[in-house]
A and B are shown apart, each in its own frame.
Chain A
Amino acid sequence: MKCPVSSMRNGQWGRLVQIDGGEELTEKLASLGIRVGTRIGRKYGLMGRGPVVLTVGTGEVAIGYGMASRMMVKLEGEEDCKHGHGHGGRKGRRFGFLGSRRGHRGQKVKS
């Protein structure tokens, strides 16, 4: 089940499968140890569209929301991610802290 990092639930783990960004983003992430294939866990996100704090290897990395919504993970376990961005396109709850009304800027998720 694929979903953007920004939509993972706190405590969920997954493997990064795709980075929808330029070479620069990919390299910046790689320098912090995040590449396609890396196993990452979401610790928590701050204030709806605030940064997302991830566990990567033995360390932690904070990623801005815009960047997090461009990173796709394949989730471990059965649970769906937030906002119904998984298989069924289920419309999930949408009240984060102020202004997460539009989910992920209408980003299309290939699954």
Chain B
Amino acid sequence: MKTVLLIGNPNVGKSAIFSQLTGVSVTTSNYPGTTVSYTRGAMSYRPCETVVCGGDCRHCEAARGDWERAEIIDVPGTYRLDPQAQAEQIAVDMIREGDILVNVVDATNLERNLNLTLQLLEFGKPTVVALNMWDEARHKGVDIDAAALSKRLGVPVIPTSGISGEGLSELRGRMMNAPKGSGERLSDDERWERIGRIVTEVQNLSHRHHTVLERIQDMMIHPVTGAPFALASLALIFYVIIQAGEFLAGLIDQLFAWGYTPLINLISGWLGGGGFFHDILLGQLTTPIDYEAAMGVLTTGVYVALGLVLPYVVVFYLVMGFLEDLGYLPRVAILFDRLFHMVGLHGYSILPMMLASGCNVPGVLAIRNLESRRERFITAVITCTTIPCMAQTAIILRTVGARGTVFVLILFSALVLVWIALGLILGAAVKGSTPTLLIEVPPYRLPSLKTQLQKLWMRIRAFFREAIPYMLGGILFINLLNVTGIIHWLGRLVKPLVTGVWGLPGESVAALILGIIRKDAAVALLEPLMLTNAQVVTATLVLILYFPCAATFAVLWKELGIRDLIKAFAIMSATTLVAGALVRLVMGALVPGLVLGLIWAVIIALFILGAYLGTHHGDRRQSI
């Protein structure tokens, strides 16, 4: 079986072509020993003689042989083949092993894309160029003479559109007997010089007025109009996610009650209804089974993973996948870059944080896409500490909101304050570098449904493989602490802290312990304790900050490693201790309105400090 490699710059519509060429059997794998992932699939084709059918095999049934299958690999997008960077080294390794190279080129950005094309030709492998975004290029007034380009490159150049499917049948037909690349090695300067000549010869740009879409596009990234637009669209996105996530969660709840409970009861019978193994596997069973409180691996473990986390993950991945392919995410990263530089990060760190506000688990998983270890650590800590997940936010709005809107405002303002304070401290303390932002701003493109679904499916599969085992492990760990009584001992240990430092009643320790499994349920548990308004704000803040839930904890462990996890845990504990005590103090001394004012005064002060520090140390932090 031949191996076909799809290679191109990022944002050239490679995935759309990939999903058009492949069927359903698509898998994502990590390249051995790395976190760089790539996608592979299979394509059926019938080899045809180019000579006979002139490229388009639809017209030459007679000249074709039997059906054959080829493997297609979607190589991670790369701008160049410089073996120094890990992702690029992998691309080079794959190219050496592959049989046929399909270079996907963005017709609207020909000059830049040809750099990779010429580097690919140096390998001397059978090569075809797919001149993608052909339809868009025409709209933009970019006219490329594909035949002339083909002549200059010495390999076929086929205009395609990954979204509409234009040109793909020809691409499929031509790739199997593509001519080999020249194999000629060029220096960087020679290559750019050649590109310059080719582009002048084959490309013709005609001037054209700005379309309405382009004006909207500009508005969305413009400093003045972009930020309100981003906030409004994020609010809308969150609303959609809460609604759709709750709906899915409801469905899954019903499935559990209908199909899973009988099974659990059966297993419980086999295990004799009690004992150590029963407690570990199934926990404390009630009728009907309380999946959140049972604590067994097969009950609470499975339920937390599938019933609580999965629904939001599905909806969130769907929405994020759409925004990603639409081209909005890079714009959000650019808009927030300045703010994030203050805390030693750059704009890309907003993406894990956006995910985390749905559920911290996918947020933590997204952290690995950040470039440096320093960025990953800071992002992980401030995300897990200050960003409550969707379920938690919903219940906070209900319970704290019942006390008065001002308390909700105080709570979330306090989170903003902790975010910026913690970020400033970590940004100054954590060694290492944060690379400067350098990204292209892709034009908006309507994503294809097939690509979207394929992506969603792959991500959910990855979630099952990478997150769920760890989540089950996390529940098992906590259940072990529970069964052995360590957790109650810990509870007694922290009680003086809870009553003395935060001024909360001793019973709230139970809520803190439950919070390890499910923070939102823990917030609800505060309700019957008859707390004062100040205590509610303090207790809820402590619950958000103190410790990530078991599921997040488990993936955090996996992503950071044990040493950084312990550091992160120490930072979180210290933050909770200080923030809880401060809030108690301030809430006890001032009326709510003043508290809110004070918090914002401090936020603004830190903001100015951050801008000042950023001005003076910003460049030292950036590595270029």
Task: Give residues in A with beta carbon < 8 Å to B.
Answer: 21-22, 24-25, 27-33, 35, 43-51, 53, 56-67, 69-70, 97-102, 105
Contact = CB atoms under 8 A, between A and B. Distances in A.
Contact of A57 (B111, B221, B614): B111
Contacts of B612: 99
A5 B604 CA distance: 30
Interface in B332-351: 334-335, 337-339, 341, 346-347
A65 B437 CA distance: 8
B615 A44 contact: no
A99 B615 CA distance: 6
B213 interface: no
Contact of B624 (A24, A44, A105): A24
Interface stretch (B15-23, B438-446, B576-584): B438-446
Interface in B604-624: 607-608, 611-612, 614-616, 618-619, 622, 624
Given A30-B188, A46-B335, A62 B223 contact: no
Nearest to B222: A44
B115 A30 contact: yes
A66 B140 contact: no
A18 to B, nearest CB: 15
A6 B346 CA distance: 17
B624 A101 contact: no
29 contacts: A22-B624, A25-B624, A27-B80, A27-B82, A29-B438, A30-B115, A30-B188, A31-B80, A31-B112, A31-B115, A32-B112, A33-B109, A33-B115, A46-B223, A46-B338, A48-B338, A50-B338, A51-B337, A53-B334, A58-B205, A59-B112, A59-B442, A61-B441, A66-B436, A66-B624, A67-B624, A99-B612, A102-B615, A105-B619
Please classify the interface of chain B as helix (H, G, I), strand (E, B), loop, or mixed, using the class held by over half of its residues.
helix
A50 B223 contact: yes
Given A33-B109, A46-B338, A50-B338, A28 B438 contact: yes
Given A46-B338, A53-B334, 20 more contacts: A22-B624, A25-B624, A29-B438, A30-B188, A31-B79, A35-B192, A44-B223, A46-B223, A47-B223, A49-B338, A50-B341, A53-B221, A61-B440, A61-B441, A64-B341, A64-B346, A65-B436, A67-B436, A98-B611, A102-B615
A69 B226 CA distance: 23
Interface in B124-147: 140, 142
A59 B338 contact: no
Contact of B337 (A29, A33, A59, A64): A64
Interface in B439-490: 439-443
B330 interface: yes
A47 B437 CA distance: 15
B76 to A, nearest CB: 14
A63 B438 contact: yes
A62 B438 contact: yes
A32 B624 contact: no
Contacts of B334: 46, 50-51, 53, 62
B438 to A, nearest CB: 6
Contacts of B441: 53, 59-62
Contacts of A64: 337, 341, 346, 436-438, 622
B624 A62 contact: no
A65 B614 CA distance: 11
Contact of B622 (A27, A29, A58, A66): A66
Interface string B515-559: 000000000000000000000000000000000000000000000
B624 A60 contact: no
A44 B331 CA distance: 13
A46 B339 CA distance: 10
Contacts of B437: 51, 62-64, 67
A97 B443 CA distance: 27
A87 B360 CA distance: 53
A58 B205 CA distance: 9
Interface string B98-122: 0000000000111110010000000
B80 A49 contact: no
A19 to B, nearest CB: 10
Contacts of B111: 33, 57
A71 to B, nearest CB: 11
Residue from B108, B115, B192, B624 whose CB has the most chain A CB atoms within 10 Å: B624
B186 to A, nearest CB: 14
Residue from A24, A27, A44, A98 whose CB has the most chain B CB atoms within 10 Å: A98
B192 A30 contact: yes
Contacts of A29: 438
A58 B79 contact: no
